Amino acid sequence: MKKLKILAIITIIILVIFIAAAAALAYFGVFGFSLEDTPGIGNIILSPEETKNPYEVPDDYEITAKIKTSAGEMVISLSDTSAAEKFISLSESGFFVGKEFSVLAENMFIQVKTEGEPFPSDKTDFSPIYGTVGFAMESDLASPSFFIITNSSLSGISKAFIESGDFDAEKASLYLEKGGMPEYEGKVIIFGKVISGMETAEKIASGENSGYTGGYSAKEPVIIESIEITHTAPEQE
């Protein structure tokens, strides 16, 4: 009789454990959680599938900039940051009209080099991944020379940089998924991202340049014809 009672208790305990495990699996399935192994980091993280990575610029801000160039158009979603405010101010004053995308590093970035005065700007947590827009840094100041990251996948050098650098799993997984320039972390201020017309940026990046030794100077620079700031985000293409 005692043996039967002990067996019954053990059976109930096993049943309770099984039900609890099933409930946990159902919860994570319903609410979109998953375990994923982050390559190059050796770390397993638990993260909501639907949650945006905090290092990625959201694409749903209300303020956008339409950049019209001699090679086509791009639309940028601008973040709610002081760097974006500076970009808006410069754009509305006509500062960039007639300026050129004069640095073309294919599978890396394109840049509008200017002679404007550097200015103080709050840094952002956004990472320089594919399609992001930012200012270059000069010491602790930002330069009005802005760039667009154009590499959609990481180079071997960038992957090695992540593996040997101080990157948390969330930031590393973002680069591995989206591409970009992890080497620029802390050296640039990201304030926006291209939400349409990325093919124009890639077309500009593919132009002939002077190569590494010549600073990737464009043989035929692309001219900015206008930048239109709007407070209503257009539909993404």
Q: How many CA atoms lie within 13 A of 190 on its CB side?
A: 25
According to the model, what pLDDT value does residue 138 have? 83
237 domain residue, yes or no: no
Examine the domain organization and report whether 176 and 222 are in the same domain.
Answer: yes
Is a pLDDT exceeding 70 seen at residue 16? no
Examine the domain organization and report whether 12 and 80 are in the same domain.
Answer: no
Examine the domain organization and report whether 9 and 68 are in the same domain.
Answer: no
* CATH code for the domain of 193: 2.40.100.10
57 domain residue, yes or no: no
Is a pLDDT exceeding 50 seen at residue 27? no
Q: Tell me: the pLDDT tens digits for 81-102?
A: 999 999 999 999 999 999 999 9
Examine the domain organization and report whether 89 and 40 are in the same domain.
Answer: no
pTM of the model: 0.75
Number of folded domains that form the chain = 2
- Spatial neighbors of 88 by CB under 8 A, at least 6 apart, are 63, 65, 78, 229
Out of 44-53, 61-70, 119-128, least confident range: 44-53
Of residues 229, 198, 236, the one with CA closest to residue 60: 236
Cα–Cα distance, 68 to 59 (Å, whole number): 20
Q: Tell me: the pLDDT tens digits for 30-65?
A: 222 232 333 333 332 334 444 578 899 887 778 999
Q: Tell me: the pLDDT tens digits for 151-189?
A: 999 989 999 999 888 888 999 999 999 999 999 998 999
Examine the domain organization and report whether 111 and 172 are in the same domain.
Answer: yes
58 domain residue, yes or no: no
Instruction: Specify the higher pLDDT residue, 154 or 232.
Output: 154
Instruction: Specify the higher pLDDT residue, 107 or 7.
Output: 107
Examine the domain organization and report whether 68 and 40 are in the same domain.
Answer: no
Of residues 208, 178, 104, the one with CA closest to residue 147: 104
According to the model, what pLDDT value does residue 62 have? 87
Examine the domain organization and report whether 72 and 112 are in the same domain.
Answer: yes
Structure tokens at 26: 């159902």
81 domain residue, yes or no: yes
Is a pLDDT exceeding 80 seen at residue 22? no
Strand spans (E) along the chain? 33-38, 43-48, 64-69, 72-78, 100-105, 109-112, 132-138, 141-149, 188-196, 217-230
Domain that holds residue 163: 64-230
